[in-house]
Amino acid sequence: MNEQLNSKIVHLKTGKKEFQLPYTNRGVGRTLENGLRACVDWVEATFIFVSPTQLISDVLLLNPSNFFPDTGANGYRQCLRNGSIAIFFDGREDMGVHLEMKGRGCREYESYNKRSWKQLFEIMLSNQASFSRLDIAVDDFKGFFTIKGMVRKIKSKELVSKFKKARNVEDIEIKTGEVRGVTLYFGSNKSDIQIRMYDKLSERTDNNYNVPPEITFWNRTEIQSRNKKAQALAVTLANEEDGEITIGKTVCGILRHYLRFTVKGNDSNRRRWKTAPFWEKFLNGVDELPLTTIIEAPTIEEKEEWLSKQVSSTLALVHEAYGGDMKQIERFVKQGIERLKPKDYDMINRFKAQKKTSLVGETKEASNDLLS
């Protein structure tokens, strides 16, 4: 597998206009011409015979000095954290060391370009990792279906499923009554398999993420696997081979097994109704997907958090040693300004633009409150 991280711009045709979607892909020539993308979106695993330092340096290939102490959780008294990558330890003897990488943590790990997911899962399994959760997400930028359309299908009994129930949750803006996002759940959150479908674009924009204006549609289908299912999925990914096995085949198999949207027929047995063309087309696209590595640009807020956790005490030490003279701190800042690159200024400009937009919104809201 080619270990070079190749950045590309993929041109997608939505039927309305062409947009550009930045993405990266390890060792796979296939692009996103069908408007779909698959990625790892959550990893949790426990190690009994690996120390926290070994997990960081030998398994993840990261620098332990970049991890700072944080609050423990879930029975672990201590934690080492680097951004959204967390290592929990110091629990009961049988609890071992626990690795947690949620969605943001997965993107951060990819940005270090240390191991491919295949390589990471291989080394984790060789160290007897016990996976408790592993999520795969499929992003749809083309619009194979809408979440509201899926809800209508379910209410019309046009779904054959292994699940007994589906749950539809709407995020409603109280002030306007506008539905800002819809999430469709199949299976319980604690079951070995849960499938979620939701409007990722609304989620991103509502949480002030910088989404390129060219992206006008973004649905996400997530498969959350736990325990034995997570372990089996990790083994599948570890055994993935270019051109032969793709994550798409696994995801497609899971979706086909649990969900089949249909076209209403006359037969009293709904299982004999034909599969809906949109669902078949979506699954055929998913079936061909390789595992994609996504590099998301860091934010000013993340830089601030790192500065607070990693550098603030050192700055305070220098500040106090020089009798509170800020000139020493200013000298560091000036040196840093000289080293800023175009990508750094891009991050600065995006942050300022977001702050300006937020300030305008807060000012208008305050004015309306005064007049109401």
Residue 95 CA to residue 100 CA, distance in Å, equals 14
Span between the terminal Cα atoms of the chain, in Å: 63
* Residue with the larger pLDDT of the pair 310 and 1: 310
Based on the fold, state whether residues 124 and 262 are members of the same structural domain.
yes
Based on the fold, state whether residues 114 and 198 are members of the same structural domain.
yes
Q: Is it the case that residue 341 has pLDDT exceeding 90? A: no
Domain boundary among 287, 308, 327: 287
Which SS3 state, helix, strand or coil, does residue 181 take?
strand
How far from 82 is each of 69, 77, 79, 305, CA to CA, in Å? 9, 17, 10, 10
Domain boundary among 255, 287, 319: 287
Based on the fold, state whether residues 260 and 304 are members of the same structural domain.
no
Number of structural domains the chain divides into: 2
Based on the fold, state whether residues 366 and 322 are members of the same structural domain.
yes
Q: How confident is the model at residue 296 (pLDDT cuts 50, 70, 90)?
A: low
Helix H segments across the chain? 52-54, 103-112, 117-126, 147-155, 200-206, 227-238, 247-258, 277-287, 300-306, 312-321, 327-339, 342-371
Domain limits for position 65: 5-287
Q: What is the pLDDT of residues 101-159, one digit of tens each?
A: 999 899 989 988 899 999 999 999 999 999 999 999 999 999 999 999 999 999 999 99
Read off the tokens for 184. Answer: 């469709």
At residue 118, the pLDDT reads 92
DSSP state of 114: S
| Position 175 in a domain | yes
| Position 112 in a domain | yes
Based on the fold, state whether residues 283 and 304 are members of the same structural domain.
no
The tally of CA atoms less than 13 A away on the side-chain side of residue 299 is 17
Which SS3 state, helix, strand or coil, does residue 58 take?
helix
Based on the fold, state whether residues 180 and 253 are members of the same structural domain.
yes
Q: Is it the case that residue 361 has pLDDT exceeding 60? A: no
Q: What is the pLDDT of residues 349-359, one digit of tens each?
A: 656 765 665 55
Query: Which of 163-177, 212-226, 350-364 is least confident?
Result: 350-364
Based on the fold, state whether residues 192 and 331 are members of the same structural domain.
no
